[in-house]
């Protein structure tokens, strides 16, 4: 008999614990330049500099080595050291 009374009291007590304070709205941040991920035409402004170092038919994966070279594998099974 005591347990249902304690559970009821706990539920009623927790129901009144809501906060009436409002959270401040974040300030607007300036928009970043467009990147166009997957677009058919490249963006005029890019957040990085791209320098081609090699061309591959069907690149599959790459791994960077400590001496700043990289290993590139292709789908047919070729392994390239670039």
The pLDDT of residue 35 is above 90: no
Rounded to an integer, the average pLDDT of 45-68 is: 87
The pLDDT of residue 28 is above 90: no
What pLDDT was estimated at residue 63? 93
Q: Which residue has the higher pLDDT, 66 or 13?
A: 66
The 3-state secondary structure of 25-63 reads: CCCCCCCCCCCCCCCCCCCCCCCCCCCCCCCCCCEEEEE
Of 11-20, 52-61, 67-76, minimum mean pLDDT range: 11-20
Q: Which two tokens stand for residue 43?
A: 């963006």
What pLDDT was estimated at residue 32? 73
The pTM (predicted TM-score) of the whole model is 0.40
DSSP 8-state code for residue 15: H
Q: What CA–CA distance (Å, rounded) separates 33 from 13?
A: 51
């Amino acid at each position: 008999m005591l347990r249902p009374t304690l559970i009821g009291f706990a539920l009623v007590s927790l129901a009144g614990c809501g906060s009436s304070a409002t959270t401040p709205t974040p300030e607007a941040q300036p928009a970043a330049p467009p990147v166009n991920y997957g677009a058919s035409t490249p963006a005029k402004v890019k957040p990085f500099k791209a320098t081609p170092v090699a061309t591959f038919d069907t690149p599959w994966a790459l791994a960077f080595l400590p001496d700043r070279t990289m290993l590139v594998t292709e789908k047919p099974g070729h392994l390239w050291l670039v």
